[in-house]
Amino acid sequence: MKKFTLITTIIMAVLAISACGAGGAQTDAGGISLTDGLQHEVVLEKPAGRIVSLSPSVTEILFAVGAGDQVIGRDSFSNYPAEAGAIQDVGGSMGNYSYETIASLEPDLVIASGINTPEQVSALEKLDVTVYYLSNPDDLEGLYAMLRTVGELTGHSKEAQVLAASLEDRVDAIASTIASSKSTPLVFYELDGSDPAKPWTPGPGTFLDLLITAAGGKNVGAVLESEWAQISIEELLVQDPDLILLGDSIYGMTPELVSTRPGWDGLSAVKDGRLYGFNDDLVSRPGPRLVDGLEELARIIHPELYP
């Protein structure tokens, strides 16, 4: 059981949305020159036409800005959109990418993300592959900037602008709807409840914390020390959240299973049946679907505002 918790923690950490500034963008005579998240000057003669994505979030962004056709390789975990499944797998489990496979695809650009390490970037650069390190965003502004960067790298600036603008509109719409609410429900988001005595939950400073707040809720985990942490059931009973979201429902957790956990029947959310499965992929991948996740959160947290 302990091992499983550790493994899920790793998955959490992999998906952790951590900080780092986005690169400034400037174009010169036909070519593209951008500073990436590792402070590298990435120069392309023309927009990239043969792209390898090293993370699910990058793959989602590439498809969202209309560059899906240009993706010739993707990591093993890229499962969205469905078309991505047909693209050549380049590995990525436990950080082990197949550099051979990537080199053999002869990409003109590899896009790495926050889950990738400098060692991985360096390994690819030694093979004369151009790598752009796309840092994870800190906030929604960062998300829009990230989309525009990918648009520029792939020759889809216009689509990326339109996409960013529409996401911004949707976020604004949620904000104005939430503004009319009088309550701020307390939300417990469960990342991994395989140890029901101390389930994993997002702490302060995480993107999930930000999204729960933006959706008009208050995150139970905000009182914790670490960004990703195990909260004690005792603390949970004291805080007594209004609702519980099961991010681990994608691993098979259900409201019924939660209500059978010892001690959990003392929680109001369990007594009132306010337990909801939640597609964690929506909020754990720093891509355009974060806004889908935000809307979903707002609907669950404030059902009275979304009749």
Residue closer to another protein by CB (options 120, 154) is 120
Contact criterion met (CB below 8 Å) for 146 and 22: yes
Contacts of another protein in 138-167 (CB under 8 A)? none
- Torsion of Cα atoms, 93 then 97 then 206 then 168, to 10°: -120
Contact between 35 and another protein per CB under 8 A: no
Binding-site size, another protein (CB under 8 A) = 41
> Quick check: 129 and 103 in contact, CB under 8 A?
yes
CB contact at 8 A, 9 and 192: yes
Give the C-alpha distances (Å, rounded to integers) separating 176 from 161, 162, 172, 173, 202: 22, 21, 6, 5, 25
101 binds another protein (CB under 8 A): yes
User: Does 251 interact with another protein (rule: CB under 8 A)?
Assistant: no
Least CB distance from residue 238 to another protein, whole Å? Answer: 23
Main-chain dihedrals φ then ψ at residue 158, nearest 5 degrees = -65, -50
Which of 1, 24, 39, 256 forms a contact with another protein (CB under 8 A)? 39
**71-74/186-190 β-pairing:** unpaired
- Cβ-Cβ contacts under 8 Å for 273 (sequence gap 6 or more): 255
Quick one: 33 or 122, whose CB is closer to another protein? 122
As a whole number of angstroms, the distance between CA 11 and CA 165 comes to: 31
Residue type, 147: L
Options 64-72, 153-161, 184-192, 224-232: segment touching another protein (CB under 8 A):
224-232
Contacting another protein (CB under 8 A), which of 31, 33, 69, 127?
A: 127
Of 4, 10, 232, 304, the one binding another protein (CB under 8 A) is: 10
66 binds another protein (CB under 8 A): no
Q: For 141, how many CA atoms within 13 A lie in the half-sphere containing its CB?
A: 5
Stated length of the chain = 307
The reply to whether 272 sits near another protein by the rule CB under 8 A is no
Among 23, 92, 221, 288, binds another protein (CB under 8 A): 92
Q: Is 79 in the site for another protein (CB under 8 A)?
A: no
Rg of the chain on CA atoms, in Å:
20
Residue from 44, 48, 111, 121 touching another protein (CB under 8 A): that is 121
Q: Is 76 in the site for another protein (CB under 8 A)?
A: yes
Residues in contact with another protein by CB under 8 A are: 9-10, 13-14, 16, 18, 38-40, 76, 88-101, 103-104, 106, 114-115, 117-119, 121-123, 126-128, 226-228
